[in-house]
Amino acid sequence: MADALPYWGAAMVIAALALPLCFRHFARLPDAGAGLAFSIGLVFVSTGYFVLRAAGTLPAGRGGIVLTIALFALAMVVLALRTARFASTARRALPGIAVAAALFSALFFGYALFRAHIPDIAHTEQPMDFLHLNAMLVSPEYPPHDAWFAGEDANYYYGGYLRAAILTGASQVWPATGYNLSLAAVFAAAGVAASSLCAALARWALGARPGRWVVAASAGGVLLLLLGGPPAGALDVAAAHGASERALAAFGVEGLTRCGAAAGDSCTGLRLDTSQEWYPDDWWGFWRMSRMAAWERQPAYPDTYLESPALSFLLGDLHPHVMSIPGVVLALALSAVLWRGRGLLSWRSHVRRPGVLVVVAVTFGSLPFVNAWDALGPPAILAAAVFGRNARDAGSAARAASASAGWLAPPALLAVAIFAPWLVSVSSPVGGVDAYADSGTRIEHAFLYWGVLIALALTALGWALRRPGASHLARSLAAASVLPAAPALVWVALVLAGRTAVVSAEGTGLAAAAASRGAGGWAALAFYAVALWLLGGVALALASRRHGGAPVAALATLGILLLFGTELLLLRDQLVHAPRTNTVFKLSYEAWIVLAVASPVALVAAIRSTPTRLRAVLVSPAALLIAISLVFVVTGVPNRLHALHGPPHLDGLAWLEARHPGEYALVSWLPANIEHDAVVVEASGRIWGRDHEGEPVLRDGGPGTPSLGRVASRTGLQVPIGWPGHERQWRGERIRPEIERRRDLVDRVYTAAGEAEALAALRELGASYVVVGVEERDAYRDGIIPRFETFLDAVFSAGEVSVFRVPAREVVPTR
């Protein structure tokens, strides 16, 4: 746990350095943006490091990271000196700075303590996450290399891993420890950013003397963003203690029924006994909340996955959609501040205030760099904020639209220029937009996942009933009808054009697509459409009156729009067996973030505007809903830690040291002793043996074991091929032949009949080192591995692990 201190210190230093930036651009917030300093500071430092590394002007390693932080510090000193009200803003913000620092520290160390009980980097896609983190640290050139596909640049959105590497490198912690601390930093930065934004939204919405209501909204944002879970978690607890199938079927979750561990094939629920603890005590029971399709009668193949941030942090994968949370909240805050300002925004505004241009470009340009799916929602709210502000002063919608386009274009172009090294090196396998035509999300399941957030967000409708006249509200609702209508019309057009992803019913065309969606699916769609229409109307009505609650209603509208859109449309990718998966997974996750920020502010404003004698009517059901939402984490934490023992620590590879100390020693030795651009050969993932004549024979040509690509994952060094399936997802099916060629060459190295064959394969791979460890001995059996020590240089040995260097081949000139 001692390593947590320097990591925390690095995060605090970067946040402190970013305060002048916050004071300049977020002075309107109650804390002057102090809660956003952790996010924006890391955004600017990581972007600066990336640009300078890509330009070849910055050394690799910790030196380059420290130099970037020093340059950022210098820039912030200059900014502070050029900010007229810096000192007075700092004095006003001191309480907010203290609260932000305390909250960040509490969240960081609290989550680090949780991870210290489950630190292993050993399941799901954690090896992939660890691969990218390590590659950011050791790549000799930028854009960083793809450690699982030697010779190629990383073809992924890796900005979040770069931020994790900045803090890991600056604090000089062991990368396997930095992995877990990076999760803690994301958790803390997300919470403190949500606290800051919710406090600001509440202050604006409530007007004079908001007092304790701001604190309530701020706390609610942290609670719902980080700890809120699907209400279905309460039903899972009921099922774990013997709830009947009939009772669960009423909610559409009969698949959670426990039939008993000895149940036969007739069991349509879970083959589990009832829990012996007050929480579900089966292994990884919390994971069920990510598989909504399996809530019905089992077995069911889920056509999509779901996560809330709480589930993500229980799981512990350092995925892009998790690391993006602080940046998304930062982008929402910047949009809200721009809307709150005065004066027409046009291209001329950037001439007068070039700093705003840079902040907007870096903040929003970094969103897809961290998580490509965030290129949709936050930019839409930015455009709405700019247009909404301009509509107040432009005099006409046409002029407002023209000015807004002129203002938005420069930061968009600058963002493209800043992140060009990444953009030109990444290719997307996305195959366009299709209409989704299948059963959809049942209305019961929609309520059981997002119901609490939606219900709280809908309290914003109360603002529409207080001040604007009937005609004014009617005009706003009429204009808002385009929000549900536009996606629906796009869906119809795509179906008529034959761009339909899934059709369960027989036949094609509009009738078949409509018939494929069940009654529950249509009910959910109708509910989303009505909620979207009403919230959109309220947002327009409030914005036209310059009411401070307009951003809250706009964010709630965006959250519902994302959920509504995923029921109609999808982005086609490499997951052809379940094409809806990523669209629903990633965009509904973004919807959770947005709704978690908007809903507590909407609720607090609704409670405050209610007469005191009637507040219990609103407070009681709201408190019950929030309590139900918290059931998931309250029971999920002990479930996640169930049956785990041992002293807490943060080394994600300590399990490897205990089981295979030679492999652990290998991970430590390689990055410190070989060239970081070298190619290292490890097992291909196939299983080989000898036939009855003693010749090498392939026994299992499958995708490989979970440890496939382990050397690259644990060190960031390049190997010829790592996880073939992921490389195809990132690069498309066109690279399948190259993947198989590389696997064949790797197999030839380990099954070669002699020196010449092995060296020829190594040179074709461009490899400099060969690893023979636990995985290689298990994959190439019956003594099939050549005696590398007879023709390669042995450079490392620890237990059952050895590393051999390929002799350099020199051309000797003759006369």
Cβ–Cβ < 8 Å for 566, 286: no
Residue 813 has pLDDT above 70, yes or no: no
Which residues, 6+ apart, have CB-to-CB distance to 694 below 8 Å? Answer: none
Q: Averaged over 549-556, what is the pLDDT?
A: 95
Q: Summarize pLDDT for 749-778 with one digit per residue, the tens.
A: 999 999 999 999 999 999 999 999 999 999
Residue whose token pair is 């409530």: 206
Looking at per-residue pLDDT, the higher value among 337 and 519 belongs to 337
Residues 39 and 63 in one domain: yes
Q: Summarize pLDDT for 416-431 with one digit per residue, the tens.
A: 999 999 999 988 767 7
Residues 210 and 240 in one domain: no
Residues 172 and 136 in one domain: yes
- The band of 799, judged by pLDDT with boundaries at 50, 70 and 90, is very high
Residues 71 and 172 in one domain: yes
Residue 267 has pLDDT above 90, yes or no: no
Tell me the CB-side half-sphere exposure of residue 191, using CA atoms within 13 A: 27
Q: Summarize pLDDT for 457-505 with one digit per residue, the tens.
A: 999 988 766 655 666 788 889 999 999 999 999 999 999 998 887 755 5
Last residue of a domain, one of 373, 399, 423: 423
Q: Averaged over 635-657, what is the pLDDT?
A: 91
Q: Does residue 159 lie within any of the structural domains?
A: yes
Cβ–Cβ < 8 Å for 733, 692: no
Residue 815 has pLDDT above 70, yes or no: no
Residues 719 and 756 in one domain: yes
Q: What percent of the chain has pLDDT over 90?
A: 73
Q: Does residue 105 lie within any of the structural domains?
A: yes
Residue 705 has pLDDT above 80, yes or no: no
- The band of 439, judged by pLDDT with boundaries at 50, 70 and 90, is confident
Residues 59 and 200 in one domain: yes
Q: Summarize pLDDT for 95-137 with one digit per residue, the tens.
A: 999 999 999 999 999 999 999 999 999 989 999 999 999 999 9
pLDDT of amino acid 300: 54
Q: Does residue 58 lie within any of the structural domains?
A: yes
- The band of 544, judged by pLDDT with boundaries at 50, 70 and 90, is confident
- The band of 298, judged by pLDDT with boundaries at 50, 70 and 90, is low
Structurally, the chain folds into a number of domains equal to 4
Residues 402 and 458 in one domain: no
Residues 285 and 198 in one domain: no
Last residue of a domain, one of 550, 577, 609: 609
pLDDT of amino acid 810: 56
Q: Does residue 587 lie within any of the structural domains?
A: yes
Which residues, 6+ apart, have CB-to-CB distance to 332 below 8 Å? Answer: 197, 378, 381, 555, 594, 597
Residue 700 has pLDDT above 90, yes or no: no
The one-character DSSP state at 735 is G
Q: Does residue 626 lie within any of the structural domains?
A: no
When the pLDDT of each residue in the chain is averaged and rounded to a whole number, the result is: 92
Residues 166 and 54 in one domain: yes
- 769-772 β-sheet, strand order: 680-681, 769-772, 801-805, 793-798
Residue 814 has pLDDT above 70, yes or no: no
Q: Report residue 342 as tokens.
A: 């005065």
Residues 64 and 152 in one domain: yes
Q: Summarize pLDDT for 653-671 with one digit per residue, the tens.
A: 999 999 999 999 999 999 9
Residues 709 and 693 in one domain: yes
pLDDT of amino acid 507: 59
pLDDT of amino acid 466: 65
Q: Does residue 349 lie within any of the structural domains?
A: yes
Residue 232 has pLDDT above 80, yes or no: yes
Residues 699 and 755 in one domain: yes
Last residue of a domain, one of 395, 423, 451: 423
Range of the domain at 262: 233-295
CA 319 – CA 509 distance, rounded (Å): 38
Q: Does residue 202 lie within any of the structural domains?
A: yes
Q: Does residue 70 lie within any of the structural domains?
A: yes
Residue 272 has pLDDT above 80, yes or no: yes
pLDDT of amino acid 346: 94
Looking at per-residue pLDDT, the higher value among 815 and 378 belongs to 378
CA 434 – CA 587 distance, rounded (Å): 15
CA 764 – CA 571 distance, rounded (Å): 38
Residue 189 has pLDDT above 80, yes or no: yes
Looking at per-residue pLDDT, the higher value among 789 and 437 belongs to 789
